[in-house]
Amino acid sequence: MGWMAGAGLGLVFPAVLAASCLLFDGIISFFSGSGGLAALAVAYPAGERDRPGQVVSGRTVHVGAVAYKRISSFGMNERGLWLSVSMPGTKPVFIPWTACQAPLSKTLYWEPWVCIPVGSPVVTTISLPPACRQEVDRYLGTPG
């Protein structure tokens, strides 16, 4: 009977491991899609030549209602906004300025962040830290 108990554990462990991996994958998929990042990746996938020369990394960015704290990289150029989130299952996006609506000012963390509605109709909004205000203003105008 002792060898049967060992054989049962040999089958249970891989099953539990597989279930845990599927659960983790489901959680990552849910959170990456809940803020609109998944929709942005489908609508505005980044190509190799879309990444701007100057990119800041390790920053907090909000996409919809989801805050990607200290795991985001982004950069801007005359064509648009490049955004990447360092999280499994996410892909960089490049949003042309023509797809962005007039920026708004939104208070987050007791500071006026720049909130950019994306798409028409709006797919999601991207909120960038206050330090980005001048660069966003250069491409989209002064936030309301």
pTM over 0.85: no
d(CA 63, CA 122): 12
Q: How many CA atoms lie within 13 A of 16 on its CB side?
A: 6
What is the reported pLDDT for 60? 92
Residue type, 15: A
CATH class of domain segment(s) 37-140? mainly beta
The tens digit of pLDDT for each residue in 119-140 reads: 988 889 999 999 999 999 998 8
Q: What is the mean pLDDT of residues 47-70?
A: 89
Q: In whole angstroms, give the CA distance from residue 100 to residue 31.
A: 23
Q: In angstroms, what is the C-alpha Rg of the chain? A: 20
How confident is residue 85, by pLDDT bands cut at 50, 70 and 90?
very high
CB atoms near residue 32 (< 10 Å):
21
Give the full edge-to-edge strand order of the sheet including 104-108: 93-96, 80-85, 66-76, 56-63, 124-128, 111-118, 104-108
